[in-house]
């Protein structure tokens, strides 16, 4: 019994340390990537939720809850969550893509990009990268919200500046609305 209390105390201390390290690491990475504060908070909460679930699993194992009991519990939880998200799988894929974009997307807010899409020219400046979509202000003045899961599936070309983007564009700016996009 004394060993279990000591192990749980050790786990609580490790959880507190890991939680602080995780939060500060995400904040530093977010600042380095010039991410929005809301986005940093979102990613931090998502990863903190995973850390908490792992911590609860370890505490259950220390307390002597059997593997079979844990397997039944987690399979039941995953079954309910799976059924609940089955109709909304695109939401789950966008959330997952959001985490991938946060850690590995080579483009930042303010970059001039072209999403290679055969149906439409999506060329403009990235205004925001949110939890579910990337907002691109096109040269024509329109604003496009492009889903995170789709932007990971398409080729994206990055331009050095607005002039380079204009050179590759099918759109020729002749109206004053195209001047609203800033460098």
Q: What is the pLDDT of residues 16-74, one digit of tens each?
A: 999 999 999 999 988 888 777 888 888 888 889 889 989 988 888 888 887 788 788 87
pLDDT of amino acid 175: 45
178 pLDDT higher than 60: no
> What are the residues facing 23 on neighbouring strands?
none
3-state helix, strand, coil in the chain (%, to 5): 60, 15, 25
Number of CB atoms found within 10 A of residue 56's CB? 13
Query: What end-to-end distance do the CA atoms of the chain give, in Å?
Result: 65
DSSP H stretches of helix in 63-181: 67-86, 89-104, 148-151, 162-168
What pTM was estimated for this model as a whole? 0.57
Number of CB atoms found within 10 A of residue 7's CB? 15
CA distance 157 to 110: 14
- Asked if residues 102 and 35 have their Cβ atoms less than 8 Å apart, the reply is yes
CA distance 78 to 63: 23
- Asked if residues 148 and 97 have their Cβ atoms less than 8 Å apart, the reply is yes
CA distance 15 to 75: 24
84 pLDDT higher than 80: no
């Amino acid at each position: 019994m004394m060993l279990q209390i000591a192990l749980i105390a050790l786990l609580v201390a490790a959880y507190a340390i890991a939680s602080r390290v995780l939060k500060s690491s995400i904040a530093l990475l977010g600042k380095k990537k010039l991410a929005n504060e809301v986005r940093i908070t979102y990613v931090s909460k998502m990863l903190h939720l995973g850390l908490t679930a792992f911590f609860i699993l370890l505490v259950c194992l220390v307390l002597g809850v059997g593997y079979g009991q844990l397997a039944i519990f987690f399979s039941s939880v995953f079954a309910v969550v799976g059924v609940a998200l089955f109709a909304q799988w695109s939401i789950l894929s966008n959330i997952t893509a959001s985490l991938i974009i946060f850690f590995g997307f080579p483009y930042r807010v303010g970059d001039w990009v072209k999403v290679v899409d055969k149906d439409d020219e999506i060329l403009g400046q990235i205004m925001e990268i949110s939890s579910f979509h990337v907002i691109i202000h096109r040269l024509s003045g329109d604003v496009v919200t492009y889903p995170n899961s789709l932007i990971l599936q398409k080729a994206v070309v990055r331009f050095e500046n607005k002039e380079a983007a204009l050179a590759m564009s099918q759109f020729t700016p002749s109206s004053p609305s195209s001047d609203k996009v800033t460098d």
